[in-house]
Amino acid sequence: MGQQASIETHILPADAPGVIDRAVRLLAGGQPIAFPTDTVYGVGVHALLPEAVARLFSVKRRPTGFAIPLLLADAESMDGVCVDIPPVAWDLAQRLWPGALSLILHRAPIVPDVVTAGGPTVAVRVPDHALVRTICRRLGAPLAATSANLHGLPDPVTAQDACGYLMGRIPLVLDGGPSRGGVPSTLLDMTTVPPAILRRGPVTAEQIAAILGVLA
């Protein structure tokens, strides 16, 4: 990818007046923003705008063969971006969302290929952070979001960390203080029988097994 021209990055408190309106306008216009979540600081775009997702890859210097997970406003939003959702996925969502659990499910046709690296599945979760859920709700779409770093570097847990990586590369960083989790979400593949944990995180195998009864 070519060299990205530097842009002005504004750092604003996440509770500043009008900040959500500003964030939603930028996202609706295809721009990326950084924000706190319940795990680490994330950078995200409107998930259903392919050009915006392509911009996210450029901003992060992320290879295009890597899929991007989706953050949702609520569990019901799974219906908009996933198909063939098994009943156990709804059970997990009811018990463990909002929270640090990402579910891999079959993608709906509306999800752009660039989000899934052309694959048939997509990872989704509802974060335990009211700011992110509100932004998704106001935007009327999920966020394609990943950690607010440059590819391969440590995950950011403060707005200052995110700025260290993305200053001059994105227009807005929302400062909500240190992230609460500090580690990425647990990743659970729901397209296999039985489901399989692909990445361990804050939600434990024991918590998942207590709901599912069995894990791969």
For residues 160 and 132, what is the distance between their CA atoms, to the nearest angstrom? 18
For residues 141 and 65, what is the distance between their CA atoms, to the nearest angstrom? 23
In 3D space, the residue among 112, 146, 114, 186 whose CA is nearest the CA of residue 32 turns out to be: 146
Q: Is 59 a domain residue?
A: yes
Residues of the domain holding 175? 10-212
Q: Quickly state the pLDDT bin for 5 (edges 50, 70, 90).
A: low
Q: Which helix (H) or strand (E) holds 147?
A: strand 143-147
pTM: 0.94
Three-class DSSP category at 134: helix
Q: Is 179 a domain residue?
A: yes
* Paired tokens of 121: 């599945």
pLDDT tens digits for 17-36? Answer: 999 999 999 999 999 999 99
For residues 31 and 130, what is the distance between their CA atoms, to the nearest angstrom? 21
Q: Is 5 a domain residue?
A: no
Which CATH number belongs to the domain containing residue 86 in this structure? Answer: 3.90.870.10
pLDDT tens digits for 130-164? Answer: 999 999 999 999 999 999 999 999 999 999 999 99
Q: Is 2 a domain residue?
A: no
Q: Determine which of 27-31, 195-199, 212-216 has the lowest per-residue pLDDT on average.
A: 212-216
Rounded to an integer, what is the distance from CA 113 to the centroid of its chain?
Answer: 16
Q: Is 28 a domain residue?
A: yes
Q: Which residues are 44's β-sheet partners?
A: 33, 145
- Per the structure, the count of domains in the chain is 1
What is the pLDDT, as a whole number, of residue 161? 96
